[in-house]
Amino acid sequence: MSMLLRLLDNVSIRRKFIMVYTIGILVPIVIGAVVWISFTSREIRQNTVHYLDQSFEKTAGNFNLLTQTAINVANQINADVTLRQDLSREFSTPVEHYEIYWFFLRNRFNMYLVSNPDIASITLYIDDTNFINVDHFRVLDDLTKQKEWYILASSDTSDFTIYPHSTAISVTPPQNRITIIRKVRSPDFLNNAVNYLLIELKLDRIISELNSEGESIDTYLTYGDNRIFWGTQLTNTSTDPQFLHTPSDDKYFILYKSIGTSPYFSDWKIYGIFDRNQINRRQLVVLVYILLITLSMAGLSVFIIWSVLNSMRYRLLALSSHIKKVGENYFEPLELKNPGKDEIGWLIIAFNKMITNINELINVVYKLEMQKKSMEIENIRAKYKYLQAQVDPHFLFNTLNAILVFCVKNNYTELSSVISSLSKLLKRLLTPGNDFITVSEEFDFIEKYLAIEKFRFGGKFEYEINISPEVINSGFLIPKMSIQPIVENACKHGLQASIDERRKLVLTAKIDSGALVISVKDNGAGMDKKQVEEILEKLKNPNSEIGSDSETGSGVGIQNVYRRMLMSYDKRFHFSINSSPGHGTEIIMRIEGE
């Protein structure tokens, strides 16, 4: 097995596909077609013989039933004592004879004719010269005795005689009929004279069944020494068309079956002669279909294998050619319109990724020295800026402290308080630390900011800061500078625009059902419902920005606070605005507990 695998490793993909197609597809298809042809040929022969046998068995059964019924009717009439008594009634005039017929004999045979539609007629010939012919009853006179059926029946020692023709009195006798002749005699009737009961049968239904086999089957109904009663006369080789001479078994399938009630129909047969060429033609049709199916399957498989092979070969050749270019220091990805999503496609994608990584690695190594020198220069520059950033705040703090000392010495108490608050405020802003602080630390920072704002307003507004002990004890952390922009917005756009001399701002923090609630409320100019809805709509739209014009009465500070809170608390953060013109504005921020 390992040797076979090594040999296959040295075979091209095209030849491998040809081997797979030949061994795995073409050979099984050919073998299957041969087996199928052999099997179907045998099945066609068996099915044809079986079909003929079943068809003839059915026809023979119907013929047997028809003849047995007629024989039973003949026996019943022969055993009918009342019929013989009625026939023995004396009459002196034709009128009396007709009265006997009308009242006693008229409906004797009707019940047999009605119940058996294949019985054409029933006639009783009576050996009594005084009897008058009426309907089903006739006199056996000298003229009748000269007829062929009488000669055949009178010479027969049996009580039953089968006459293969019609016995009806007609210029043109009906075709396809046979007559069952029964001798009727009894010691108590006409001195045991021999009378003849004729039951004529219609064989149209039997012949119709034989004729329904179609032109491919030659069928015959024979009697005696193969004398033809009925036949299609397609294969009869006899010089006398009245007799059947079967053709050679080499060219035809010949099937025959005896029919009729024994022993009266012992020499009656039905023949079926089927041309073997018909079977050969059927086999040829099957062979053509099989060949068409086989060729179609072979052609389809060739097309599929060619398509798969061409797809693989095109991409593999492109990949092989590009690998040679990479060996010549050409580090560019392989560009194909459709690399595919199969194993070869993934191989091309992996190859392109490897080339890209190699190319990037070469660029990194090539530029490493320049980057090192650039990084050294940037480090020196950053250190310089860091030292400079440290000097400027200290200089600013020292300057504010010098002004503060000057104000204290000259008793500028109010100014010194404002400068002190400003100094602490700047120090807080410029001092690095954590991004999250407690609520009390944020409120302490806001209190210093409000002290400066009160000085700027000339003492024309008051502020009130309320923080509940639950908030202080909870240690609830909020983002740094998350409340101050709201307070600044209230001072700038709420209180400053108000004409009321009793301007006031109230800042509240409390715990409500485990949630932190922060409220910034002013009694300034306020906003109408439309302005409030516009602000809330823009806050919910991340792509919009809220301006600081007087029309909206807000600024970017409130938007920054809203987005920072959403980033920190997501769905736990709730924001609402309550405002009306002339009654101020209240902004409520609620942060649910974890």
The structure tokens 């008051």 sit at 462
Q: How far apart are CA 223 and CA 229, in angstroms?
A: 7
Q: Please report, as a single letter, which amino acid is at residue 510.
A: K
Q: Which among 72, 12, 497 has a CA at the least distance from the CA of 264?
A: 72
pLDDT at position 290 over 70: yes
Q: What confidence score (pLDDT) does residue 152 get?
A: 92
pTM here is: 0.46
Quick one: how far is CA 428 from the chain centroid? 71
Q: How far apart are CA 226 and CA 229, in angstroms?
A: 9
Q: How far apart are CA 532 and CA 77, in angstroms?
A: 119
Q: How far apart are CA 472 and CA 438, in angstroms?
A: 8
Q: How far apart are CA 123 and CA 415, in angstroms?
A: 155
pLDDT, one tens digit per residue, over 348-373 is 888 888 888 887 787 777 666 665 66
Sort residue 488 into left (φ over 0), alpha (ψ -120 to 50) or beta. alpha
pLDDT at position 548 over 80: no
Q: What mean pLDDT is reported for the chain?
A: 79
Alpha-carbon torsion (476, 482, 487, 493), positive or negative = negative
Q: What confidence score (pLDDT) does residue 96 get?
A: 79
Quick one: how far is CA 498 from the chain centroid? 73
Where in the chain are the domains? 79-198, 203-276, 453-540+554-590
237-241, 423-427, 493-497: lowest mean pLDDT where? 423-427
Neighbours of 584 (CB within 10 A): 24
pLDDT, one tens digit per residue, over 399-440 is 566 566 656 666 666 666 667 666 666 666 656 566 788 999
Question: One fold for both 79-198 and 453-540+554-590?
Answer: no
CA distances to 146, 306, 460 from 474, in Å: 142, 77, 35
Architecture per CATH, 79-198: 2-Layer Sandwich (3.30)
More confident residue, 179 or 297: 179
Q: 178 forms bridges with which residues in the sheet?
A: 201
Segment 553-571 shows an average pLDDT of 77
Superfamily per CATH, domain 453-540+554-590: Histidine kinase-like ATPase, C-terminal domain (3.30.565.10)
pLDDT at position 250 over 70: yes
Segment 297-310 shows an average pLDDT of 77
121-130, 390-399, 404-413: lowest mean pLDDT where? 390-399
Q: What confidence score (pLDDT) does residue 398 get?
A: 54
The DSSP 8-state label assigned to residue 269 in this structure reads E
Alpha-carbon torsion (413, 414, 416, 417), positive or negative = positive
